[in-house]
Amino acid sequence: MRSSISAAVAIFLFVGPAVAAQNFQTCVANLRDQAVKAGVSPSLASRALNISRPDENVLRLSQAQPEGKIPIWDYLSFVVDDQRVADGRAMMRKYDTELRAIERRFGVDRHVIAAIWGVETDYGRQAGDSFLPHALATLTCEGGRRAPFWRGELLAALSLVERGDIELDKLKGSWAGAFGHTQFIPSTYRRRAIDFDGDGKRDLVGSVADALASTANYLHRAGWRKGRWMVEAKVPADYRGPSGRKRKGTLDAWARRGVLRADGTKLSGGTKAALLLPAGPRGPGFLVFRNFDAIYAYNHHESYALAISYLANRLAGEPALRTPWPTDDRGLSRAERMQLQKLLRDRGYDVGEADGRIGPATREAIASAEKKLGMQPTGRAGEKILRALGGNP
């Protein structure tokens, strides 16, 4: 058995890459034809799809194992830290005129628009550097179940260049095709992008005004109506009532179940809201309104919509969460994560660049350090390991 498997693998290694390369080139040639049939000029199709082998980086990222379920407090500590709030307030001052004009036109609160910008690309600083035509051709020609989706996104991306919205070399973004200041995928760009600065182009890469207005347009079309999105709430410690994004009730009804605002004031009125308890009744609670569902439409994860909602509240001047998360090992901000990575590096661990991102190398280093210190090896970047290594959280 063993030798026959080895033989099979040897044959695959010998024949595989050459066949794969040829298949890839045939697949890309087909994509060029399809693009031209869809109205893309032959010269643009060949410039965009001048690629002879798959983009290795995109393959690696698309095949990476998800790191499993991250505790909500880790995710929120990372995404909504004091630095993101301070940077967001500075960017809101810088783009005050544009944000207010966008808010007037679409009725979407400017703090929420700024929060999406902050979470998606750190206010435009991290929009991704994968060349979309190559990334999307790689994903299409890899032939997985989602190939038709990726092909559709590729054709949509090229049509944006063809119609003059954006130059080809600006099609740079995430490995999965999201790009621009607020990370639209090409098909969403085609449907929802707006020229807000009036230059005749819908440029979500080069124009902050276009990108933020397009985001507001998206939220408006997803059902946003003037009003609140989320308020922190608290429930009695023995609460066993309903919760969940789809279980909506009036504020009066929630009040009858003992739910209060986190500052202790009473809820009242007929406005509909749902109660989220992402860490159970002992952690922070959130009453979320209709507009929360519009944010959820942007990226279908409740933790994402909570991060946007919470950052928007902070940008609007509200305090940090009043109820602590039910953990004795809270998550770390980006600055604290970098501090942790530097401490690990000082001790000889290979963590790559100390960039605050907790990838496989950092997780491995944390687990080894924990073991050495006689702690349970978790690989998680929390306050305990930071303190144990002499850091100052």
Min separation Cβ 184 and Ca ion, Å = 14
Min separation Cβ 163 and Ca ion, Å = 13
The stretch near Ca ion (CB under 5 A) out of 204-212, 264-272, 354-362, 383-391 is: 204-212
What is each CA distance from 245 to 103, 226, 292, in whole angstroms? 26, 20, 9
Instruction: Assign 376 to helix, strand or coil.
Output: coil
Radius of gyration of the chain (CA): 24
In the shown chain, the binding pattern of residues 154 to 193 toward Ca ion, with x for contact by CB under 5 A and - for none, equals: ----------------------------------------
Min separation Cβ 220 and Ca ion, Å = 18
Of 134 and 201, the one with the shorter C-beta distance to Ca ion is 201
Of 138 and 214, the one with the shorter C-beta distance to Ca ion is 214
Q: Does 195 bind Ca ion (CB under 5 A)?
A: yes
Of 194 and 276, the one with the shorter C-beta distance to Ca ion is 194
207-246 residues near Ca ion, rule: CB under 5 A? 207, 210
Q: Does 201 bind Ca ion (CB under 5 A)?
A: yes
**Of the candidates 132, 170, 164, 179, the residue with the CA atom closest to the CA atom of residue 151:** 132
Of 208 and 294, the one with the shorter C-beta distance to Ca ion is 208
Q: Which amino acid is at 9?
A: V
Residues 6+ positions from 66 with CB-CB distance below 8 Å? none
Size of the site for Ca ion (CB under 5 A): 7
Distance CA 295, CA 305 (A): 6
Q: Does 101 bind Ca ion (CB under 5 A)?
A: no
Q: 10 Å Cβ neighbour count for 35?
A: 25
Of 169 and 199, the one with the shorter C-beta distance to Ca ion is 199
- DSSP classification of residue 165: S
- DSSP classification of residue 333: -
Q: 10 Å Cβ neighbour count for 334?
A: 18
Q: Which amino acid is at 238?
A: D
The stretch near Ca ion (CB under 5 A) out of 10-18, 43-51, 202-210, 268-276 is: 202-210
Using CB under 5 A, list all residues that contact Ca ion: 195, 197, 199, 201, 203, 207, 210
